[in-house]
Amino acid sequence: MMKKFLLSMLVACTIALPAVADVPVTVPAAKSYVNNLSLDQRIDHHRAIESMIWSMPLMNMIAMREGMANAGVGFNDVAYHSSVQTWTEQFTTNNNTVPYVYTFWNVSEGPVVIEIPATYKGIPLVGAFLDAWQRPTEDFGPTGFDGGYGGKYVMLPPNYDGSYPAGYIPIQQKTYNGYSLIRPVVKNFKPETMATMIELVKQIKIYPLSEAGKPAKTKYIDVAGKHIDALPKFDASYFVDLHKVLQEEKLEERDKVALGMLRELGIEKGVEFNITKAQQNALNEAAKDAHMYMINEYLDESASIAYEGTNWSNAVPDEGNTHMTTLTWNFPNYLSYNSRGAGYNFFYSAMKKLGKATYYLKSSRDKDAVRLNGSNDYVLTVPKDVPAKRFWSVTAYSNDDATWFDNQPKGGVDSASGQLKTNADGTTTIYFGAKAPKGKEGNWVPTTAGREYFLYFRFYGPTAAAYGEWKLNDLVKVH
């Protein structure tokens, strides 16, 4: 297996690993490109790889912000979906069980107020406020700070020493940029339910604190069905974009080592980055290697097995109880940028209190520990009594970009859709493949031939049994 040269410390997982730990991962052989480099060039190659892994949470957020900007969404706007997400919206591990709502803000010119409304006609808003590094600053909704009753939150700039009105909930940011993924948890997608959801979304208000007396009207933008490219680019353009972001963001003491590596590549705050043709080619190669490394790191290397004897692991790399860091990966003696970077190549928008409202598992291998491939057919038998108070879902994502397969009618299935058929014994059989088995369309998850993929199994309103007493089966290949 590929040696973990990027970490100086590794906290050992206390849960026994299944056979998957002994299966070679898909790592490319040594390239002639690297072998032919001088020592200085090889050092720069590795600096570029590590810088990319370090900056992944930041650049994932920027890719989403820019993708939304191209769809007409600016700072302090509210982007919502009048219908559930489809494959045209290219976000990492996007969801098709709740209609997502996005908003982005910037506090470089002063505090920004975000008014979160209370649960409305049985529909709660669930989510978290995050800074530019996707560190959750506070959760909101029934399991968050306001308990579902709503509140006026005020996002404060780094080192803010000014005042704010009484009754506002202060959120101190360490960065200028921030965003939130807001999830209106609807029971179904019926027209009347979605209309109520939109009424709720249009109660969200965002404005500068300086305009609190008479704020401008918040702009609401329906992005349903739009083609939105919100994915980081794994080539030299990644580093060009990173240079731009470093010019606008507040940099922290903890990041000086990484910033020093970037400086050796010509990327520095306050200094123009003039990329040469040779450097562009070199950074293209480094980006490819970094991408491959993060794919294997997330799917296999940093996997914390959820159910012993299976290939299901926690969707969030749980190195040394990551959830205890409130999803910052900032441990007492080190910053686990390796697991953090690999994770944010695949997902976004963590919550501070992970596991309260939702719990996610992932798997990229079948019962025989072989990578899932869209050319094959598989079945998953979901045991009865799934420990989810609201509902559960299973969704397929491509390994190479962590999104749904293009031009597919759906990304997965869920128990709230009303389309799943349950077996007589209470279990549910889910079918995976390029074609739906006849009569099983409601229980079918489409895949694309030749593409490797992984699954997310989501529990909405997880109960205690989800964390070990209940056990999910592996996928079985149909021969």
Q: Give the CATH number for residue 109.
A: 2.60.40.1610
Last residue of a domain, one of 205, 225, 245: 225
Per the structure, the count of domains in the chain is: 2
For residue 433, what are the β-bridge partners?
446
**Residue 254 counted as domain residue:** no
Q: Are 79 and 103 in contact (CB under 8 A)?
A: yes
For residue 116, give the nearest of 200, 176, 178 by alpha carbon.
200
Residue 461, both tokens: 């309103």
**Residue 333 counted as domain residue:** no
- Residue 201 is predicted with a pLDDT of 98
**Residue 352 counted as domain residue:** no
**Residue 236 counted as domain residue:** no
- Residue 31 is predicted with a pLDDT of 58
**Residue 321 counted as domain residue:** no
Residues of the chain under the 50 pLDDT cut: 1-30
Look-up of token digits 């530019």 = 132
User: How many Å apart are CA 411 and CA 407, to the nearest integer?
Assistant: 10
Residue 452, both tokens: 């490797």
Residues, the chain: 479
Q: Give the CATH number for residue 469.
A: 2.60.120.600
Last residue of a domain, one of 193, 225, 257: 225
- DSSP conformation letters of 122-182: TB-EEEEEEETT--EEEEESTTSTTTTS-EEEEEEPTT--S---TT-EEEE-SSSEEEEEE
Last residue of a domain, one of 192, 225, 258: 225
**Residue 93 counted as domain residue:** yes
The values of phi and psi at residue 162, to 5°, are -90, -170
Residue 118, both tokens: 């209370």
**Residue 121 counted as domain residue:** yes
Query: What are the pLDDT digits (tens) for 14-61?
Result: 233 333 333 334 444 445 678 889 999 999 999 999 999 999 999 999
Amino acid at 11: V
**Residue 84 counted as domain residue:** yes
E strand or H helix that includes residue 434:
none
Give the contacts of 315 (CB within 8 A, at least 6 positions apart). 347, 360, 361, 362, 456
Domain that holds residue 394: 357-477
Residue 7, both tokens: 């970490």
- Residue 25 is predicted with a pLDDT of 43
